[in-house]
Structure 1
Amino acid sequence: MTTNLTDQLKRAKRALREYKQHRESNDFYEEQSDFNPSPRTALGIRAHSINKLISRHTQQSGTLVNYLRALGYVREQIIAARFVLNTKGKKKYEAYVKSTLAELPQRFKALGDHHLLIITSAAAIPFRRSASKDHEEITHMLCLITDCILQYRYKGEDSRYREYADTIAQGVDSDHIPPMIASLIMVEVSSLVNSAVFTGVFPYRDTGLTCEEFARYRDPENFEEEETHETYDVEMAFPVEGIAQQSLWYGLHEEIDDFIISLAGGLLYGRSIS
């Protein structure tokens, strides 16, 4: 397991522990207030733009939930196809993949063309001459699906939203997140948690992957094989960490990251999911 994933796991557990210790404290988070920043300031203009994006996602929540569910379904089918390859051989495996691919348009006909193309492309596992090469393709597709789940909200959105969030994050004091920014994050993370719980689809749960496989996929040039060759399920990275990484704000500022992890962890803890 990579050092990066180990650190993320420790960080997520620490944030959740802090939430459990302080969830009844009135000063743990700024109390959520109405979103009303001045539209005349640079901060306000950017915040309003992000708020419109989140509002649009709220209006499209049904579509996004269906897309997330479809990604989870494709992942399940790829894992099932691997089982068929292992137990029934290559011919049955190829038939299973073709059958899955053929039924996706009808099963998820409510999705738009863009999302449907993504899930059908992810299910279209290339067939190779040997079972070992087929296994490599399966692993690659499972990694691709995990990335799609992590990015299901914002992939394809205008990059300026991330730039706006970055600009705002750089101005955050290490001991204080402005209430209007906290409010935006609360709305977004609550929606991410609700979608994950409703669909049962989490980035790092039931992935069919090991941390080693996912780390190699993410950074093949700098990946170093573990000397022990031990394997670990990616879900050891903790469900809350995956949800945090789905946020527009994640990775921009350590204080905001901790806030997102704590909030997501608290919401999951309240639902007895973590």
Structure 2
Amino acid sequence: MGRVAVVTGGASGIGLAIVRRLATGGASVALLDLDEAAADRAAAELRGEGLRVVGLGADVSDRAAVEKALEAARAELGPVEIMVTSAGLSLNAPFLDISVEDWERVVAVNLTGTFHCLQLAVPDMIAGGWGRIVTISSSSAQSGSRTQAHYSAAKGGVVVLTKTLALELGQYGITVNTIPPRAVVTPMFLAAPFAQGAAGEENIKALAARSPVRRLGVPEDIAATTAFLCSDDAGYITGQVIGVNGGNYT
């Protein structure tokens, strides 16, 4: 691939799988994560495998922190050509119990954080005449999710932001697509109330049994599609919601 990529939320789960897949394909990757120590550890492990990866700490809801991280990425690797926004925050509460503080934090990370990352990276892509953006949204953006009104609303905003940027940026050789994962086994998924305890184990088994492919997703499923969307071969795909979900719609 030979491109310079930035992946947010890259120290674990889907983000880490995407970092590994892009780097294995030849990209130089800046791995951004709120947990700077985890970002450093993950990047060091990947460098030990011969991959070109740097770890950087940044809270994507903090504009100045994102700007600083991207400047460090440019200094180390070069202008940003690929941006994957995988950083996310999911909280659970019935709608009437959601505090204003939790609403604002979830929206700040999931939606405003995506805005910060993309607005700060896109000028590099315009200058280079080529770019790939993949946002990681959520199936809840399309279906809703009980006890996750704030998360679903924020991820719905990510979907519409993606479609809007595809319309604006296509003229510059930049494609913009979103993947809304569903039932992917990640730390966030396993931390949800649905997955807790003995009942959680049964819930997970039942969910897998209902899947047309008879399994739940793994981060590598999302990473494989992300890598394709970031390639030259995907230059005619933009503004799309790519359902990597094993046929799970309900």
TM-score under structure 1 length normalisation? 0.28
Between structure 1 and structure 2, the one with the greater Rg is 1
Larger helix share, 1 or 2: 1
More RCO (CA 8 Å, sep 6+): 1
